[in-house]
């Protein structure tokens, strides 16, 4: 039977010196390719790549890694979760832009939602009034730059396709 993480039941807890699994995460102590030391990788269950890879402490014999324990695992889960959260926030900020424009008829919220499709990258530009009523929605190139000036020009132009 193969001993890879992917093929095992990812819901089963494991508490071994170099492998811990619990609460949706797997910590694995690995040989550090950059030097003679050790590293630990934290992988969220279901993800193909580790969310975090960092140095790991040598054991007392200065050859083998220090064994994983509950306190270290909890700290690693907290750190890796924070890395994932920051990555998600950054990605959201890159793909979703929002600008408010004051007009004679009231405030208009303009949003740009980028769809990073490999075959058909594009964005959706939309406008809603202060009551949440959609004023316009159209597909634009993923390279469209949303800022206060471009939003105001779109509104002033009657929501026609930006040129």
Read off the pLDDT of residues 66-100 as tens digits, 9 standing for 90 and up: 999 999 999 999 999 999 999 999 999 989 999 99
Our CA dihedral for 52, 57, 59, 60, rounded to 10 degrees, sits at -170
pLDDT in the model for residue 9:
57
Is the model's pLDDT at 4 over the cut of 80? no
Run of H or E residues at 69: none
Instruction: Spell out the domain ranges in the chain.
Output: 5-94, 104-156
* Residue of 34, 33, 46 whose CA lies nearest to 84: 46
């Amino acid at each position: 039977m193969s001993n890879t993480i992917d093929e095992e039941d990812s819901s089963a807890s494991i508490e071994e010196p170099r492998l811990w699994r619990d609460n949706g995460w797997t910590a694995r102590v690995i040989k550090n390719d950059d030097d003679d030391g050790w590293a630990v990788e934290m992988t969220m269950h279901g993800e193909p790549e580790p969310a975090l890879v960092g140095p790991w402490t040598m054991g007392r014999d200065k050859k083998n890694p220090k064994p994983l324990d509950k306190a270290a695992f909890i700290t690693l889960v907290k750190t890796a979760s924070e890395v994932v959260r920051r990555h998600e926030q950054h990605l959201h900020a890159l793909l979703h832009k929002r600008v408010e424009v004051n007009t004679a008829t009231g405030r208009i919220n303009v949003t740009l939602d980028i769809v990073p499709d490999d075959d058909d990258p594009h964005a959706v530009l939309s406008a809603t009034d202060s009551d949440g009523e959609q004023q316009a929605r159209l597909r634009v190139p993923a390279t469209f730059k949303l800022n206060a000036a471009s939003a105001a020009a779109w509104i002033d132009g009657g929501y026609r396709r930006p040129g």
